[in-house]
Structure 1
Amino acid sequence: MKKIAVIPARYQASRFPAKLMQDLCGQSVIVRTYQATLQTGLFDEVVVATDSDIIYKEVKNNGGTVIKSKREHHCGSDRIAEAVENSDADIVVNVQGDEPFTNKEDLEKLIGVFERDEQKEISLASLMHVMAKREDIENPNNVKVVTDMQNNAIYFSRSVIPFPRDLKILQPVYKHIGIYAFRKEALLDFYTQSPTPLEQSEKIECIRYLEHGKKIKMILTDHTSVGIDTPADLESARSTWKERYSAT
């Protein structure tokens, strides 16, 4: 089973333009993410896919593998699909460019989903963790997910789901961490499909898979993601980096 990791990297992010080129304690965010993914040793190949000459040069100048998208894309899955269209990969792992704290344990869990799925029923696997702070739960930048009893995704939303109608029932709220593993054929199916109504309403691309009947296995992790969507997130990431790595 050939496994590759692709890091989609847009320069003009809507909420925080040029965020991937921001300094994260001596290296850009995109280079930190690339290095963290490469250092897991899990992949036959790690590549950045970008629409930006600036990001292309940044990764190239730091010894990374990078390709320039030939088409304009509106979501990361499309950019990744173009990058692997002619690849012989079986499993494609999407590591978000603004997730520099990606770790080996979580990626191993995602890959393991497909190693155990002998009937090939699962199209995608992704990560989630429990959110504790009310301000995080109510923040629309944090995508929430609800699952069935087998941890297959039922729905994703920027709203609070499930809605706490009965406060006596302590139901955890899960944040979706934007790291995916795909069967290549499911990713290419997505590439040929038009955006779906709920996907467009929520601005969450993985909803398209659900609307087309694909099965998404969610994996619970204890690792808290430090995705970078705002300047405040960047400051938080810098503090986290210093705490984890300043002594090494």
Structure 2
Amino acid sequence: MIEQVVRQCLKVADVDTLVISDSNEVLSLFKTYQIRTIKTGQCNSGTERIVSVLDDLKHYDYIINVQADQPFVSPDLIRQSFQVAQTIQEDKFLVTPICHLDYENALRPSCVKTIIDLNNRAIYFSRSLIPYTNSPEKVLPYYGHHGIYLYNFAALAAYPNLKMGQLEQRENLEQLR
């Protein structure tokens, strides 16, 4: 699966693709592809993994984490994430593309739901059905996010100073930090 994810990422022109992993097996696979790899220790999330090697990534303004379980990730979605990032004026930020979910997928805990405000900014992520409804006929639109996180460097540099809160622990979702 990870090999397919990397193939999709390689379709994005003008973007360096790196594989960052704690698995020697995974890293050796990509050495044969002549892709830059970085070995890490054990980490709790992809964001922690990237932060653990941030010194090796200092020359990047933006770092995108495409999760290894996204074999059908769209190269256009990656490109669009970079385009959105270049328009953001904030010091520290995260871009994660969202999509509409049908009711059946919204019920699945493995499908992360996203609540957005009127400006399409994410205000919460959950494995639970949000917003709650007791009637499938009265469903508001459900949104989920793709397994992509684009950070600017400053956001990743600040990440180790942020404490894991109860919501991140309960939901097991790193983007809540």
What is the TM-score of this pair, normalised by structure 1? 0.66
Whether 1:34 aligns to 2:3 is: no
Q: CA deviation at 1:193?
A: 2.7
Matching residue of 1:104: 75
How far did 1:35 drift?
Answer: 1.6
CA RMSD of aligned residues (A): 1.8
- Number of equivalences: 176
Question: Partner of 2:55 in structure 1?
Answer: 85
SS across alignment from 2:131:
coil
Question: In 1, are the aligned partners of 2:5 and 2:70 still within 8 Å (CA)?
Answer: yes
Residue 82 of structure 1 deviates from its aligned partner by 2.2
Q: CA deviation at 1:191?
A: 2.6
Asked if 1:199 is matched to 2:165, the reply is no
SS of 2:174's equivalent in the other structure is: coil
Q: Counterparts of 1:42 and 1:158 in 2: how far apart (Å)? A: 34
Pair 1:145 & 2:111 matched = no
Q: Which residue of 2 aligns with 1:188?
A: 157
Partner of 2:130: 161
CA distance in 2, matches of 1:114, 1:39: 19
Instruction: Give 1:84 shift.
Output: 2.9
Q: Which residue of 2 aligns with 1:60?
A: 31
Amino acid at match of 1:197: Q
Gap regions ≥5 residues in structure 1: 1-28, 209-248
Cα offset, 1:165, TM superposition: 4.9
Tell me the CA shift for residue 133 of structure 1: 4.4
Residues in 2 aligned to 1:206 and 1:47: alpha-carbon distance in whole angstroms = 21
Partner of 1:236: none
Between 1:186-195 and 1:198-207, the stretch displaced more is 186-195
> Within 2, Cα distance between the matches of 1:168 and 1:35?
40
TM-score, length-normalised on structure 2?
0.90
SS in 1 for 2:38: strand
Within a 5 Å distance, the mapping from 1:205-220 to structure 2 comes to: 205-208=174-177
Q: Match for residue 101 of structure 2?
A: 131
Stretches of structure 2 that go unaligned for 5 or more consecutive residues are: none
Residue of 111, 131, 146 corresponding to 1:177: 146
**In 2, are the aligned partners of 1:146 and 1:156 still within 8 Å (CA)?**
yes
Letter in 1 for 2:170: S
Alpha-carbon contact 1:36-1:101 (below 8 Å) kept: yes
In structure 1, C-alpha distance between the alignment counterparts of 2:129 and 2:158, rounded to whole Å: 30
> Would the alpha carbon gap of residues 202 and 133 (structure 1) be closer, same or farther in structure 2, given more than 3 Å must change?
same
**Separation of aligned partners in 2, 1:155 and 1:187:** 19
Change (3 A) 1:164 1:122: farther
Residues 1:115 and 2:86 are matched in the alignment: yes
What amino acid does structure 2 have at the position aligned with 1:39? Answer: K
CA deviation profile, 1:166-198 (whole Å, cap 9, x unmatched): 766441111221101101111121133332111
Equivalent position amino acid for 1:30 in 2: I
- Structure 2 counterpart of 1:48, which letter? V
8 Å contact 1:31–1:62 — kept in the other structure? no
Deviation at 1:111, TM superposition (A): 1.1
